[in-house]
Amino acid sequence: MGSNQAAVSFLTNLARAALGLGASATLLNSSLYTVDGGQRAVLFDRFRGVIDDTIGEGTHFLIPWLQKPYIFDIRTRPHTFSSISGTKDLQMVNLTLRVLSRPEVNKLPAIFKTLGLEYDEKVLPSIGNEVLKAVVAQFNADQLLTERPHVSALVRDSLIRRAKDFNIVLDDVAITHLSYGAEFSKAVEQKQVAQQEAERSKFVVAKAEQERRAAIIRAEGESESAKLISDATAAAGMGLIELRRIEASREISATLARSGNVMYLPNTGTQMLLGLNPSR
């Protein structure tokens, strides 16, 4: 009987010890929290509100129920958003902007108070559209292509200043896509066709001018040649013409002599050339 009571008492004490150990472990676990690499924590106290100190990496203590940690990712993250904006000449342009952002570490308590954990999703799309519309409105549609580096620099500087008002740091801002509306694309195509037609017309005019000059030069040459022949004839009589006729006859005779299809037949009064076709 005494041994049973001792066993019961031992088991009871063991259960109490296990219960106390479990409660202690639970309390200890709830009193600890871990901040991983690339993260920071902001501590909320039920009595004091958000504590102004930012908590770094590692394992830290807190008062259970009274305090609660909120973890922020401070690594640079990409964000992409699009905007349809109007240019100075009233053309609609579709732009896509990519930014690399991160929060200011020492301003995390203020960010948590005003914006919460999803601060970037609340701020960046709105200020990005605002800056894009303001910058694009300063340029004509064609200038967005010819002056793209200048446009990108204006967008980057303006967006960095706006993001700083919300304690957000932008490491990079880039315009990744730019396209025009259907009407502007059609107008550009028509302009290119008109320019090609103008260039073709210039070529036709230049060609006609060159042909006119060539005709004038050729006519002047023929006139000069005729004048020289006339002067030579006047000076030497008909001998020059007879000489040219003899030279022409010699060339014709040489050509006919090399042809196998021509026969020369002497006659009493005239001479006759017969063309013979050997295939017949």
110 and 148 in a common domain: yes
104 and 158 in a common domain: yes
98 and 149 in a common domain: yes
* 259 is a domain residue: no
Is residue 277's pLDDT more than 90?
no
204-256 per-position pLDDT tens digit: 888 888 888 888 888 888 777 777 767 766 666 666 667 777 877 888 777 77
pTM: 0.62
Rounded CA-CA distance 232/141 in Å is: 72
- In the numeric block, the tokens 């709830």 are attached to 30
* 256 is a domain residue: no
259-270 per-position pLDDT tens digit: 666 555 555 444
Is residue 191's pLDDT more than 80?
no
Rounded CA-CA distance 108/115 in Å is: 10
228 and 171 in a common domain: no
171 and 115 in a common domain: yes
144 and 52 in a common domain: no
Q: For the chain, what is the domain count?
A: 3
Rounded CA-CA distance 44/164 in Å is: 24
Is residue 94's pLDDT more than 80?
yes
Residue 188: predicted pLDDT: 62
* 100 is a domain residue: yes
* 138 is a domain residue: yes
162 and 126 in a common domain: yes
Q: 154 is in which domain, residue-wise? A: 77-180
155-178 per-position pLDDT tens digit: 999 999 999 999 999 999 999 998
45 and 81 in a common domain: no
* 102 is a domain residue: yes
Quote the crossing angle between the two packed helices 119-136 and 148-164, to the nearest 10°.
140
Mean pLDDT of 71-97: 91
83 and 68 in a common domain: no
